[in-house]
A and B are shown apart, each in its own frame.
Chain A
């Protein structure tokens, strides 16, 4: 019997696969296509204290083996999440990770405090969204502010705290260490890489926001490198993400040092993508004669 169980900050997942925030909603749209309960965890779309309208359209553009998005964290706010989305997720045997976003430190803390009263397994703090002007990435590009907001969130959080890091920095190791110093229980990386696309016939940017976050297979080598660098720099567990489409891609991230992985853009191409990644991981373990998935975590280091 092969074990795919992993433990992150004291929370045991049945397998190491979750969803990347913003690519799976709260799972409702995917329930037609797959059993949500097969996932190790569901990571929700970013939740803010009040409803956010997001950015103007066009909000997405396709690029070679990737896509740019500038959704701008549109979401209905924490009360709707707690009353509508959370009861839906609690029907399934999967861990619930709520992604938290805010424009000010106080915004984050209000959401964290509200979720402290709820049956949520873990919090993922988004300090790395490239598409909102205030908050978001402004917190994630400076080691001092990463450490400070982590410390603040930890004071209020009732659940383990995962800090989601941005790749749009000079040295990911500094951000990883800063989050760890601030008391983070885990890290997730990478968020999207800032990019743009130009319509040469109209001579203008494709996205209304001009720039967006690049995701998909195009960013996988960068993500793997950063996950590996972070894994060598901190002791806390890492959830790795960036262009994972298959079980083999997920195995690469685990070998690079991630304890779990998140599937993102693949959900847009194939609504069963997460289930297929889980199957792909199991097939790999069987074929390689590995009994416990934890044997391969960080094995290349």
Chain B
């Protein structure tokens, strides 16, 4: 169940230009959190009304703290980046459904693109199977070295500065990666590519989506995505990303 908390910031550091890593002490939320879920973070200044949804990057081993890795994209995330250890921030979570942790004896490919990479780290830790981890960047890499303990890591960059030149699908094809299941989070064009690749190779794919949100708890119906079938809650072909998602089976949604 989602709860509201005033979390203590344990640490804050710039992981790469414009990309920040923040650990929050929030036992209430961390004890129930799952990989693929997200938090709503509230700005201190009330002229910025709406919470910012940010995915969970890591859960501490003792399940008292959460790590968020986020990009400074606007005034809200800029405010978060200015917070220091010892400060407090209002948060709500853990929100959404998270990735299903299917059992062992399968081969999985974990795909992260850009700021969709952070949620794959906790998934890589908790998923008990053979894993290939494919991380796609525009140019500068971040967080990639932290995936090394959990599987074979493959990189792609648009400019070719690191790993395969091109996108995550190029990296999968060039390295001839095989899998029974794919987990992916990243920009919509990447997810479209992953969905098409999974369909072509008859692989189950779980995709984590992003959309502009207001409430984060399923009331406002701002963050919907098109679905193949009628959604059980809204009875139209539109489902709530914050509540029924953000993780969906690729074949159930339309991108």
Q: Do A and B bind each other?
A: yes
Assess whether A57 is interfacial by the CB under 8 Å rule: yes
CB pair B219–A25 under 8 Å, yes or no, is: yes
Determine chain B's interface SS by DSSP, over half rule: loop
Assess whether A76 is interfacial by the CB under 8 Å rule: yes
CB pair A76–B211 under 8 Å, yes or no, is: no
Give bound CA distance, A267 to B224, whole Å: 19
| Contacts A57-B223, A67-B49 given; does A29 touch B217 at CB 8 Å | yes
CB pair B46–A29 under 8 Å, yes or no, is: no
Give bound CA distance, A77 to B235, whole Å: 8
Interface residues on A, range: 35 or more
| Contacts A22-B220, A33-B4, A51-B236 given; does A269 touch B212 at CB 8 Å | no
Across-interface contacts of B214 in A (CB, < 8 A): 60, 67, 69, 268
With beta carbons under 8 angstroms apart, the residue of B3, B212, B215, B243 that contacts A61 is B212
Number of B residues, CB within 8 Å of A: 33
CB pair B224–A54 under 8 Å, yes or no, is: yes
| Contacts A53-B238, A76-B236, A269-B42 given; does A29 touch B219 at CB 8 Å | yes
Q: Which chain B residue has the least Cβ–Cβ distance from A64? A: B47
Across-interface contacts of B145 in A (CB, < 8 A): none
| Contacts A51-B236, A53-B238 given; does A65 touch B47 at CB 8 Å | yes
Across-interface contacts of A76 in B (CB, < 8 A): 233-236
Give bound CA distance, A245 to B47, whole Å: 12
Across-interface contacts of A60 in B (CB, < 8 A): 50, 212-214, 220, 222
CB pair B49–A268 under 8 Å, yes or no, is: yes
| Contacts A217-B46, A271-B4 given; does A29 touch B215 at CB 8 Å | yes
Assess whether B218 is interfacial by the CB under 8 Å rule: yes
Assess whether B166 is interfacial by the CB under 8 Å rule: no
Interface string of A25-61 (1 = CB under 8 A from B): 1000110110000000000010000011110011111
Q: Which chain B residue has the least Cβ–Cβ distance from A266? A: B49
Q: Which of A24, A29, A61, A76 has the most CB of B within 10 A?
A: A29
In the complex, chain B residues 21-48 whose Cβ is within 8 Å of any chain A Cβ: 42, 46-48
Give bound CA distance, A267 to B223, whole Å: 16
Interface of B with A (CB < 8 Å)? 1-4, 42, 46-51, 92, 211-215, 217-225, 233-238, 243
Interface of A with B (CB < 8 Å)? 22-25, 29-30, 32-33, 45, 51-54, 57-62, 64-67, 69, 71, 74-77, 80, 216-217, 245, 265, 267-272
26 A-B pairs with CB atoms under 8 Å apart are A23-B219, A24-B219, A25-B218, A25-B219, A29-B215, A29-B218, A29-B243, A30-B219, A33-B4, A51-B236, A53-B237, A54-B238, A57-B211, A57-B212, A58-B211, A60-B50, A61-B212, A62-B48, A67-B214, A74-B221, A74-B236, A77-B235, A80-B235, A268-B214, A269-B50, A271-B215
